[in-house]
Amino acid sequence: MSSSRVFRGSPALMAAAKAAKASAATSSGVNATMPQAPNRTSGIFKVTPVSHAMRQFLGVSEASRTDAVKKIWDYIKLNSLQNPANKREIRCEEKLTTIFDAKETVGFLEIGKLLSPHFVKTN
């Protein structure tokens, strides 16, 4: 509902309503109707220590699951390791076999399951 209908066109009341609305938006720092961004420090976004094999692959001692998967996919695409006939299949070479349980081929849906042992549980 517009403020002109509520205040029946009174310029003084309309100006006061606009000022109140503007001050509420600036005092909160964000638009009051927009939801807040979720806290990205838990679940798959949580940075945790990784296994020795994963540390060798990523080059860092701690990583989040999302960062690890991104770096693995970057490596796969950079080295053209996807099977051209079946894009869902990844052909593992020496560096990938160290983190994928020495498998020669891995389906892309298996990656999450194969990475689980590489993330150390912390409480």
Tens of pLDDT along the chain (123 residues) come to: 555 565 566 676 667 667 766 666 555 555 545 555 555 677 788 899 999 999 999 999 999 999 999 999 999 999 999 999 999 999 999 999 999 988 999 998 888 899 999 988 766
φ, ψ at 83 (rounded to 5°): -70, 120
Rounded CA-CA distance 57/60 in Å is: 8
Q: Which long-range contacts (CB under 8 A, 24 or more apart) does 25-33 make?
A: none
Instruction: Look at residue 44 in the predicted model and tell me its pLDDT.
Output: 80
Shared domain for 54 and 8, answered yes or no, is no
Instruction: Look at residue 46 in the predicted model and tell me its pLDDT.
Output: 87
Residue 29, domain extent: 1-35
Q: Residue 26 domain-assigned?
A: yes
Instruction: List b or e across 5-27, with b for residues whose CB sees 16 or more CB atoms inside 10 angstroms.
Output: eeeeeeeeebeebeeeeeeeeee
Q: Residue 98 domain-assigned?
A: yes
